[in-house]
A and B are shown apart, each in its own frame.
Chain A
Amino acid sequence: MNGARYIVDILCENGVDVVFGYPGATVLSIYDELHKNKKRIRHIRTAHEQGAAHAADAYARASGKTGVVIATSGPGATNLVTGIANAYMDSVPMVVITGNVDQHLIGTDSFQEVDIVGITMSVTKYNCVVHSIDELGHSLRNAFIIAQSGRKGPVLVDVPRDVLESCLSLKSIKKMEAEFDYYHPPESREDCCEHELDRAVQMLTESRNPVILVGGGVKAHRTSHVTDDIKQLAKILDCAICSSLMAVDSIEYDYPYYAGFCGISGNEAANRALDEADLIIAIGTRFSNRMIKSRSEQEVLHSGYTKVLHIDRDRAEINKVIASDCFLVGDAEQILPALIARYREKMEAEDITSGVAVPAITYNMYKRDEILTALSEKVGTDAYIVTDVGNHQMWIARNYPFMQSGRFITSGGLGTMGFGLGAAIGTVTHAKDKPVVLIIGDGGFTMSCHELATIKAYNLPVLVIMVNNGKLGMVYDLQAQKCRGRFSQTVVKRKPLYCNLARSFGMKAYKATCLETFNKAVQQYMDTKKATFIDLCMDIYGRNE
């Protein structure tokens, strides 16, 4: 057995049944083994490595499993970098396997050689070069453990060609398995929440106007325990729940205590709740500067009026952006029930009744959006909604009626334009028969439209809705505000014939200029479950709150 075959075996051992990637000279042996092992692992070849990285990322977001992406050395590896950084910013578990040149060529600036470990060091949770075949098992197995443990993230394993092609005896495989040294996540060294619980409960009882702020971390588990507890806590405290962009879908849109997502582009109700609160109970969020709406809001947080109770499993997030008055480090799945139980004990001891069936005031100010309501009615609550980055993304986050956690696939931290098509490919690979809708701007679409080739090649039933305003909307808006209307490079003067482009990749394509034509096109997709493209030329941005 050679190293390449051993990689395939370890992938299978880790429950991997689909990988994304692009072949090349240094990973020739891996692709040879993938060819021989087609029945065990499905491989999706994208049009560009970046698309493969986004696909693996979105596959992981949709499935909860570890996304796997393979690329060759040099440009193959560097093309992955944006995708890896995207996964890192949003804490998505991913294992990246790159080929590298033969070891005797490393460091000599040989053909298609880059130091991908050096390049990706600050955008991976861990990365390494496999220097000998005897290290391969250890490195790759631990990559899966590291990617999924604690706060999740991408891990890159760089394997030189000669290691991939060297032979392994059964004896050395046995030895590798026997001596495997499990990686223990450092987070487990510091689960110190127990003695802090009382202080947290004290803060809850003292607060007159608390708010719960949930972040992407609450979606890390595939169960609903955490969100159930969050809803319960909101009921007990009679307070609003706000979310970060990453967690928009973690609570049903119509839940009476849910005020939507907060931040620069967020829902007004959520921002107001956050502004007025005297206690922010932050759960699994890292206080992105996009979420802390304005400078003045930051100042409010530092003024001492608003107290912060921070719950996160990554100790380094505590006090990084916002100083907290109390923090609980660990898994919300364990912390929240303990916190709720202790709060109830205290309230009962002091003979105070807590908890209300209906909120005292209207927290949920959800505004129906005509187009998105129509879309959601047609595709159903089961559908995955993937977005690219820009105004359309904020439109979806504010107005799409999400009913299930984990159905919103979006690029949060890195804000990667061009994420959408790759992400839709990854999502549909997991979603099987459930609808997958990509909403993408014309800018992001143009940036990544080569991935239509992948949709065609694998006959992937994706509904692509391209919001076509002929602008790079988000930057255009910034220029309107800050550049006195000098719209530098943000207006598309001569538009391509997008529908024709989509048709040339075998998609059904429709131009929608009114709700009726839009509905018809969506219905076509639902009826046929074939790759469909909608060029949506409607003024959607005038409708926002």
Chain B
Amino acid sequence: MIKTISILVENKAGMLVRVTNLFSRRGYNIESLAVGITEKSEISRITVIVDTDERILDQIVHQLMKLVGVIKVKVLDDDAIITRELVLIKVKADSTCRNEIIQIAEIFRARIIDLCPDSLTIELTGQYDKTNALLSMIEKFGIIEVARTGKVSLSRGTDSINT
């Protein structure tokens, strides 16, 4: 099962290594990982997506809790979660196909953020499926490179990791 874990950590050098080291040391697989500071500059949020079973998920949470510098760990409820990922896609585009690509991008509500005679770069924010769908649509034009941020998630409503 795919699960999203939100981890609040002290915003200090080496914290990300401690968290990822724990995953590799114990043999837990990371599907996606994103990190950034929170509303408080001294705290960072790490969002980890894992594909695992109940027992290992429980282990991951409690092993993480033991790390010095980890403040809070929460497995987000799949039914009440918003998840987004930002993707930059550089695709081959000359004048013959440029308009078609732009049309596709518009349908996906993606933005064109860079344009040059032979290529353009699309910025897309969305869920995993949407990104994959867009990628498959424009694959035929020739994708030059892709950069993805990894997924970030929050729970819906007024609920927060702190409640």
A314 to B14 Cα, complex, angstroms: 24
Query: What are 18 A-to-B residue pairs whose CB atoms are below 8 Å?
Result: A118-B17, A121-B17, A121-B18, A122-B22, A122-B25, A125-B68, A183-B68, A186-B65, A186-B68, A186-B70, A189-B65, A314-B66, A316-B59, A316-B63, A316-B66, A318-B62, A319-B59, A320-B59
| A190 interface contact, C-beta 8 A | yes
Evaluate contact between B68 and A146: CB separation under 8 angstroms.
Answer: yes
> B58 contacts which of A183, A186, A319 (Cβ < 8 Å)?
A319
Report Cα–Cα, A314/B59, bound state, in Å.
11
Q: Which residues of A496-511 are within 8 A (CB) of B?
A: none
Report the bound CA distance from A315 to B68 in whole Å: 15
Interface residues as binary, B18-33 with A (CB distance below 8 Å gives 1, 0 otherwise)? 1001100100000000
* Least distance between B128 CB and chain A CB atoms (Å): 30
CB neighbours (8 Å) of A323 from chain B are: 55
The interface size of chain B toward A, counting residues with CB under 8 Å, comes to: 16
How many Å from the CB of A311 to the closest CB on chain B?
A: 16
Decide if A126 is an interface residue (CB 8 Å cutoff): yes
Nearest CB on B from A193, distance (A) = 15
A-B contact count (CB 8 A): 36
Residues of chain B in range 1-24 having any CB-CB distance to chain A below 8 Å: 14, 17-18, 21-22
**Which of A117, A186, A316 touches B14 (beta carbons < 8 Å)?**
A117
Residues of A in contact (CB 8 Å), total 20
Q: How far is the CB of A34 from chain B (nearest CB, A)?
A: 28
- Please list the residues of chain A having a beta carbon within 8 angstroms of any beta carbon in chain B: 117-118, 121-122, 125-126, 128, 146, 183, 186-187, 189-190, 314-316, 318-320, 323
> Of the candidates A118, A121, A183, A315, which one forms a contact with B65 in the assembled complex, judged by CB atoms under 8 Å apart?
A315
Secondary structure type dominating chain B contacts: helix
Residues of A within 8 A of B58 (CB): 319
Given contacts A117-B14, A121-B17, A186-B70, contact A316 B62 (CB under 8 A): yes
Q: Report the bound CA distance from A442 to B25 in whole Å.
A: 34
Report chain A residues within 8 Å CB of B14. Answer: 117, 128
- For residue B18, which residues in chain A have a CB less than 8 angstroms away from its CB? 121
Task: Give the shortest distance, in Å, between A188 (CB) and chain B (any CB).
Answer: 11
**Which B residues touch A126, using CB under 8 A?**
68
A183 to B10 Cα, complex, angstroms: 13
For A320, what are the chain B residues with a Cβ–Cβ distance below 8 Å? 59
Cβ-neighbour of B62 out of A118, A146, A183, A315 (below 8 A): A315
- Do B68 and A190 touch (CB < 8 A)? no
| 6 closest A-B pairs by CB | A316-B62, A126-B68, A122-B25, A315-B62, A316-B63, A186-B65
User: What A residues does B63 contact at CB under 8 A?
Assistant: 316
Q: Which of these, B21, B65, B68, contacts A316 with CB under 8 Å?
A: B65
Bound Cα distance from A128 to B18, whole angstroms: 11
Of the candidates A121, A128, A315, A318, the one whose C-beta lies within 8 Å of that of B21 is A121
Contact partners of A314 in chain B: CB under 8 A: 66
Other A-B contacts than A183-B68, A187-B66, 4 sampled, CB-CB below 8 A, are A117-B14, A314-B66, A316-B63, A318-B62
Alpha-carbon distance A190/B59, docked complex (angstroms): 14
* A122 / chain B contacts, CB cutoff of 8 Å: 21-22, 25
Residues on B with C-beta less than 8 A from A121 are 17-18, 21
B73 nearest in chain A by CB position:
A186
Hey, which chain A residues are within 8 Å of B67, CB to CB?
Answer: 186
Most buried by A among B22, B58, B62: B62
